Amino acid sequence: MGTQFAGRVAIITGGANGIGRAMSLAYAEEGAAVAILDREVEAMNETAEMVRAKGGTVLAIAADLLDRAQIVDGFARIERELGPAYILVNNVGQTARENFSQFYEAKIETLDFVIGVSLQTTLICSRQVVPGMRERGEGKIVSISSDSAINGDIGCVDYAAAKSGVLGFTRALARELAPMRINVNAICPGATKTRAMDRIPKDAYERARNAIPMGELCDPEDIANAAIFLSSDKSRFITGQTLMVNGGRVFY
Ligand SMILES: NC(=O)c1ccc[n+]([C@@H]2O[C@H](COP(=O)([O-])OP(=O)(O)OC[C@H]3O[C@@H](n4cnc5c(N)ncnc54)[C@H](O)[C@@H]3O)[C@@H](O)[C@H]2O)c1
């Protein structure tokens, strides 16, 4: 176990599965007390057990982050039970998945859903921690965007719009918080080995892999490592930036 985040609280939204699970484990391994907010209780409890098995501290809170009241309650509970947040990772987000379509036939409810889950959650969760971070004059916010925001992939208009919004949010908030030495950065994962990729047809999966110059999909741990760096003292002078972690598929 590392100690770089000993005594610190790290909040991971959507920390139950995939990239979020890798992050929950990685932050705990670096000594943080980890708070997970997720709506999938079974997977979240499994992740929490994995953290505890490594000797980590974890608070798992069942919450649907599309419900603002649940966000407010969840963050208040974290502060009460673990203490103030030093790190927030805005990881919740997704494409339209089963409602995936080209824009001309997209349902308006699907557009609303994708913007809600992939952008608004980031703003509203961040709003819960920023006042305290400002008062204390410390904190790290890392938000997960996507390389689809930069590449503009077909069938992802809503998702690209939301994830580009995450990048604009990151820059503007970084500028507001730089005088308080609070770092705000974003990561754009490329295609990553999580269930999100398992759901797509085999030929689309092959195409995604073939488009990556390094010849393989990203591991969730690759994204977690980038987040740890952006939360660490080693990145103290990096803010408002977008870090591409995609095996070379898209440059920014
Ligand atoms: N997997 C990829 O290829 C890839 C590529 C680029 C970006 N991303 C981004 O990375 C992040 C994580 O993706 P993943 O592949 O690990 O997905 P995942 O589906 O494996 O995990 C997402 C987690 O978020 C939770 N979640 C979703 N909506 C929620 C809500 N409303 N309230 C509470 N919890 C909710 C889910 O329960 C799940 O535990 C997302 O923002 C995604 O857009 C993923």
> What are the tens digits of pLDDT across the range 106-164?
999 999 999 999 999 999 999 999 999 999 999 999 999 999 999 998 999 999 999 99
Report the pLDDT value the prediction gives residue 66, as an integer from 0 to 100: 98
Mean pLDDT of the chain: 96
CA distance 117 to 95: 9
**Per-residue pLDDT averaged across 57-86, rounded?**
98
What separation in Å is there between the alpha carbon of 45 and the centre of ligand 1?
17
Report residue 200's pLDDT band, with 50, 70 and 90 as the boundaries.
Answer: confident
**220 Cα–ligand 1 center, Å:** 11
- Retrieve residue 97's tokens: 């998945």
Residue closest to 232 by CA, chosen among 244, 218, 243, 248: 243
* Domain count across the chain: 1
218 touches 183 (CB < 8 A): no
What's the 3-state SS for the chain? CCCCCCCCEEEEECCCCHHHHHHHHHHHHCCCEEEEEECCHHHHHHHHHHHHHCCCEEEEEECCCCCHHHHHHHHHHHHHHCCCCCEEEECCCCCCHHHCCCHHHCCHHHHHHHHHHHHHHHHHHHHHHHHHHHHHCCCEEEEECCCHHHHCCCCCHHHHHHHHHHHHHHHHHHHHHHHHCCEEEEEEECCECCHHHHCCCHHHHHHHHHCCCCCCCECHHHHHHHHHHHHCHHHCCCCCCEEEECCCCCCC
The predicted model scores a pTM of 0.98
What gap in Å lies between CA 41 and CA 37, rounded to an integer? 10
Residue 2 maps to a domain: no
**Residue 164 falls within a domain, yes or no?**
yes
> What does the pLDDT read at residue 202?
87
CA separation for the pair 120, 68 (Å, rounded) = 10
* pLDDT at res. 199: 79
Tell me if 86 is assigned to some domain: yes
pLDDT, residue 222, reads 98
pLDDT in tens, 7-32: 999 999 999 999 999 999 999 999 99
Return the closest-CA partner of residue 239 out of 138, 165, 146, 142: 142
CA of 92 to the centre of ligand 1 (A): 5
We report the CATH number of the domain holding residue 70 as 3.40.50.720
Mean pLDDT of 171-200: 95
Q: What is the pLDDT of residue 185?
A: 99
Ligand 1 centroid to residue 179 C-alpha, Å: 31
Give the domain range for residue 62.
9-194+220-242
Ligand 1 atom nearest the C-alpha of 67 is: 31
Query: What pLDDT shows up at residue 140?
Result: 99
What is the residue with the minimal CA distance to atom 7 of ligand 1? Answer: 146
Q: What confidence score (pLDDT) does residue 104 get?
A: 97
Q: Give which of 25, 27, 60, 9 is closest to 230, Cα–Cα.
A: 27
Ligand 1 atom at shortest distance from the alpha carbon of 65: 32
Q: Taking CB atoms and a 6 Å cutoff, what residues make up the pocket around ligand 1? A: 14, 16-20, 38-40, 43, 63-66, 91-94, 117-118, 144, 146, 189, 191-192, 194-197
Q: 113 alpha carbon to ligand 1 midpoint, in Å? A: 14
Q: Which residues contact 156 (CB under 8 A, 6 or more apart)?
A: 95, 148
Give the active site residues. 159
> Lowest-confidence range among 12-26, 57-71, 87-101, 106-120?
87-101
- Asked if the model's pLDDT at residue 197 lies above 90, the reply is no
- Nearest atom in ligand 1 to 159's CA: 43
Report d(CA 233, CA 158) in Å as an integer: 35
Percent of the chain with pLDDT over 90: 92
| Residue 49: predicted pLDDT | 98
- Whether residue 102 is contained in a domain is answered as yes
Per-residue pLDDT, 1: 80
Per residue in 233-244, pLDDT (tens digit) is 999 999 999 999
pLDDT value of position 196: 84
* pLDDT of residue 97 exceeding 90: no
pLDDT given for residue 79 in this prediction:
98
199 belongs to a structural domain: no
